[in-house]
Amino acid sequence: MQQLIVPALLASLWTLCTGAGDWCYQSQFSCDHQCNAPEKWDHANSKCGGRNQSPINVVTRKTVKDERLKDFKFENYQESFRGTIKNNGHSVQVGVPHVSTVSGGGLPTTYKAVQFHLHWGKNGGPGSEHTIDGEQYPMELHIVHMKHQYTDLTTALLDSEGVAVLGFFYEASNSGNKKYDPIVNALKSIQDTNGNTSLLPISLAQIIPPEQNLTSFYRYKGSLTTPGCTESVIWTLFENPIPLSMDQLRAFSELKFKDGKSMVGTFRPVQPLNGRQVYRSGGAAILASSTLLMVAIASVLGLSEPN
Ligand SMILES: [Zn+2]
């Protein structure tokens, strides 16, 4: 009997000390709480150590313009629904009825929306997962979609192009964004992990920029940004950020992780590109573009170096 008890006791002690199997963000790691922080996610799931991981830093001057990245077609994005918002211990998530779809934008087929969730910093500080030329935005929205023929995400994740995530950045603005009132007001009811509440009716169109401002985006192939880190995601990152006031951004820091600590810094650090190419749509700006334009104008005017 003792032979059985000792290893079991050691195993449970090991779990207590290392938090094995329990992944966490860097902000949650402390000597008292030694959970699996992002560098150790591959211990929990080997896929997290893969070569096509997300998020990434987009270096705009290294992106390649792709004419196939035409405008998206959003269907039923205007449709209002009564969703449930939940603190799942890592983020806030809202399940979406599978009726809103996205196609075009260089996607191989139609994808239907499944859920959306957010990643943020501390009190409106840096908190996005993706960065653009090293800039980390205060928050990032992920609207998770799966190929239209699937009925659950687990199955979709078995397909290397089964999932399409639309990523949106936020920026601090001087005035509050009323379209976000249903979400921001619900946060106080779900401060504790596993807390959930019903939202006043919202639509997906309501929480993203107007369609005409969605023509500039980046595209690459990557993974889920939480364990299991499955590499089945076609990523789209829109250039135009969503404005929220500082108070609205700060409201997310009032949420709590399972241990009661503030839910802040809910982002995975950027991962190596490992030779992947990032594409940009026709409208997406690159930092060097104004310089190139000046050179072009100068050469037309005959102001370039004399021959
Ligand atoms: Zn996410």
pLDDT attached to residue 19: 44
Predicted pLDDT of residue 11: 45
Predicted model pTM:
0.88
DSSP 38: G
Rounded to the nearest angstrom, the distance between the alpha carbon of 72 and the centre of ligand 1 is: 20
Q: Is 43 a catalytic residue?
A: no
For residue 185, tell me if it sits in a domain: yes
Return the structure tokens found at 217: 């985006």
pLDDT values of the chain reduced to their tens digit, one per residue, 307 residues: 445 455 544 444 444 444 445 899 999 998 878 899 999 999 889 999 999 999 999 999 999 999 999 999 999 999 999 999 999 999 999 999 999 999 999 999 999 999 999 999 999 999 999 999 999 999 999 999 999 999 999 999 999 999 999 999 999 999 999 999 999 999 999 999 999 999 999 999 999 999 999 999 999 999 999 999 999 999 999 999 999 999 999 999 999 999 999 999 999 999 999 999 999 998 777 655 555 555 555 555 554 444 4
CB-count exposure of residue 3 (10 Å: 0-12, 13-18, 19+): exposed
Centre of ligand 1 from the C-alpha of residue 68, in Å: 25
At 306 the pLDDT is 40
| Burial 158-197, CB ≥16 within 10 A → b, else e | eeeebbbbbbbbbebeeeebebbebbbebbeebeebebbe
Q: Write the CATH number for 97.
A: 3.10.200.10
Options 90, 130, 142, 145, the catalytic residue: 90
CA of 65 to the centre of ligand 1 (A): 25
CA end-to-end distance (rounded Å), the chain: 92
In a domain, 95, yes or no: yes
| pLDDT of res. 307 | 40
Instruction: Quote the domain boundaries for residue 167.
Output: 65-299
Predicted local distance difference test score (pLDDT) of residue 221: 98
- The whole-number pLDDT of residue 29 equals 92
Question: What does the angle CA 131 – CA 136 – CA 138 come to, to the nearest 5 degrees?
Answer: 130
22 domain residue, yes or no? no
Put residue 172 in one of left, alpha, beta given phi > 0 → left and psi -120 to 50 → alpha. beta
Identify the CA nearest to 168 among candidates 205, 197, 134: 205
| 244 CB-contact burial (10 Å; exposed 0-12 / middle 13-18 / buried 19+) | buried
Rounded Cα gap, residues 77 and 204, in angstroms: 5
Residue 13 lies in a domain: no
Tokens representing 48 are: 């997290």
pLDDT of residue 278: 98
Residue 147 lies in a domain: yes
Provide the number of structural domains found in the chain: 1
13 alpha carbon – ligand 1 mean position (Å):
32
Hey, what amino acid is at 4? L
Question: CA–CA separation, 165 vs 287, rounded Å?
Answer: 25
Q: Tell how far the Cα of 225 is from the centroid of ligand 1, in angstroms.
A: 6
At 14 the pLDDT is: 47
**Residue 119 CA, ligand 1 centroid: distance in Å:** 6
In a domain, 1, yes or no: no
Strand, coil or helix: 63: coil
In a domain, 14, yes or no: no
Three-state DSSP class for residue 175? coil
CB count in 10 Å sphere of residue 304: 12
Torsion 242-244-246-250 (CA) sign: negative
Q: Confirm whether 305 is domain-assigned.
A: no
Are 45 and 223 contacting, i.e. CB atoms less than 8 angstroms apart?
A: no
